[in-house]
Chain A
Amino acid sequence: MQQNFLLKKEKLNEFLTALSKEAKVFVPALNENNASCFLPFKNQEIFLSKRTSFSPKKILLPPLEKEFIFRKKSSSFKIEHLLDSKKRVFFGVRSCDTHAIKALDKLYLEYFTEDEWYKAIREDITIIALQCSKSCENGFCKSMGTNNPVGHDLLFVEKEKSFFVEAASERGKQVVQKYRDFFNQTNFIKPEPKLKFGKKLETFGLKEILDKNFSHKKWKSEAKKCLSCSSCTQVCPSCYCFLSFDKFILDSGDSERFRAWDSCQLKRFTKVSHNYVFRESRESRLRQFVMHKLSYFPENHGLPLCVGCGRCISVCPVGIDLTEIASTIRGDVK
């Protein structure tokens, strides 16, 4: 059976409205601060012009998530385990972000033991990927081999008056079957947009080069600019660190446990007892960010933790660019 279809552009919101009846749908859109991110679909204008400033990471790993409620029961506690499982649809996920989800899956579902909170959210997501039709600011996905989506269920490619739609998984086929009225079958083959990339990151042998140049002067000179603002780790679609803390529900004796985003760029990240901090210098923290992405994670999981979206470069207030750091260090290798 032919698996390629067309969806008329003016039908997009109607299609998403139909999906909303059975799942929570998230779409790229502008928030109240005019920042592009993934928001619950409310029939608003869909942000299609370029990749969003924030990835769907915010839904998979909520910036603040409640894990437990500890109910005080006379001299003991009752532990309520909170898991947020529901049907979700992510519409308009760019290729880079599908690869970031793949990396997060590796860590949170496969490594050592699965994470129940991530699994609850991740388990039932239909991913509708959107092929980029032009290259984006600071992106270098081609260098990272992440310029074609993975793990998605449907692929949308924007054409002039319609979207070319490819069902990429069983789940994707079922969506098309179920909402067949929105789709017209087509004999067109998938358009392959020609993208030009301004940035490049040569990954060949990069891990070894970075490992051998742990004390390279570039780390120090670049870190001089760094403000430790942690914007890079927040916009990164694959940065996943978190911390855990409790809070009392006042007046009840009950308490709650939360997990919240953390960042390796903050000094307290490696603080232990007696205020000893392992990565005290900005140099060591900036290096941790880059090394984790390009050396440590690949070693453990067989794929980089950087998907080449370029968001960390776009957001950095002082112009730190990990592709430039990597190429400088590589350039000095004789």
Chain B
Amino acid sequence: MKKLSLTAPALAEIIEVRKDTDKIKTFTIKYVDKQDQKRFHFVPGKFLMVSVFGFGEMPISLSSSPLKTESLQLTIKDVGTITHAMLQLKKGDKIGLRGPFGTGFPIARFRKKNILFVSGGCGMAPLRPLVCAIADKREEFGELKLLYGCQNSDHVLFREDLKEWGKSGGLDVLLTVDKCTPDWGGSCGPVTVLFNKTEINPENAVACVVGPPVMLHFVIKELKKCGFKDEQIYASLERLMHCGMGKCAHCNVAEKYACIDGPVFNGTELAKMPLEEK
């Protein structure tokens, strides 16, 4: 079967908009061409180049379950011109999609292992498909734990899923918020504070980290302190791609391109990269 075009955007329709927070919405989307929808499949961690016609194109990670490909979901935060325009769109509006691009999480390598998910803010969006895929074959994996840091209690994404995964999937969820409000009974501070609140055992474990660059830096440090080796760590890098095909060079990190070699990289590759080139 013909693959989805990487160069020309395919038309897609927004079939549902859900407001997650004051600045974040989740869009459920279907390709206009039914054949395109049939061709669509992805590995958790991959992203699409999303066109909001007249405003531009941006890379957005898929946030839906890879098992449900009759539609797809994108969870988008208003952080700039294109995302802002996207958040104004309604049911029935058309957008363009290219991809999926990049390499995802190598789930087959996680079999029989304990998995620690670490996420900050919108980083939960690309982690969701991964958790969905693992929860679907729950018996093939060991213990599952999620450390999730948000701005405040209103910014916790996918609450329903978290509850569901906690109940049926045996996912141990630990939350923390940057700004504590009186109604919040849980942890306060960045996601790294959670490392002291639970036992984190590197033995037979892998860690999957998605979040903003600063968070990534500190979480990897924390994981190393706990005894995680580079090869046990997988992280998704945030970069602003303009092409997705290793050409525009915006996501170039040393010899690698986040768009084709990543965005998910193993810790052994990350160790060779100048990630915090200030």
Contact = CB atoms under 8 A, between A and B. Distances in A.
B180 interface: no
B248 A244 contact: yes
B8 A281 contact: no
Contact of B248 (A262, A271, A292): A262
Interface string B42-56: 000000000111111
Given A75-B94, A246-B53, A273 B79 contact: yes
Interface string B112-136: 0000000000000000000000000
Interface in A5-62: none
Interface residues of B, number: 43
Given A107-B247, A299-B255, A272 B238 contact: yes
Nearest to B272: A211
Contact of B77 (A247, A273, A281): A273
A242 interface: yes
A242 B80 contact: no
Contacts of A257: 51, 56-57
Given A113-B245, A242-B247, A276-B212, A292 B252 contact: yes
A77 B13 CA distance: 11
A198 B96 CA distance: 52
Contacts of B212: 273-274, 276
A111 B79 CA distance: 32
Identify which of B53, B56, B238 gathers the most chain A CB atoms within 10 Å of its CB. Answer: B53
Interface string A79-97: 1010000000000000000
B8 A242 contact: no
Contacts of B239: 270, 272, 278
Interface string A247-282: 110000001010100101000011111101011110
Residue of A115, A246, A247, A276 with most chain B CB atoms under a 10 A cut-off: A246
Main secondary structure of the interface of B (DSSP, over half): loop
B250 interface: yes
A246 B49 CA distance: 14
Contacts of A195: none
Contact of A284 (B6, B11, B53, B278): B278
A214 interface: yes
Given A246-B54, A257-B57, A274-B212, A241 B278 contact: no
A164 interface: no
Contacts of A112: 245-247, 260
A242 B244 CA distance: 12
A84 to B, nearest CB: 15
A76 interface: yes
Contacts of A72: 53
A163 interface: no
A273 B80 contact: yes
A183 interface: no
Interface of B: 6-9, 11, 32, 51-57, 77, 79-80, 92-94, 96, 212-214, 238-240, 242-243, 245-250, 252, 254-255, 260, 274-278
26 contacts: A76-B11, A77-B53, A107-B247, A112-B246, A112-B260, A113-B245, A240-B247, A241-B248, A241-B249, A242-B243, A243-B250, A246-B51, A246-B53, A246-B54, A255-B53, A255-B54, A257-B51, A259-B242, A264-B252, A269-B250, A270-B240, A272-B240, A273-B80, A276-B238, A279-B277, A291-B254
In the complex, the 4 A-B pairs of residues with the closest C-beta atoms, listed nearest first: A255-B54, A273-B79, A284-B277, A241-B249
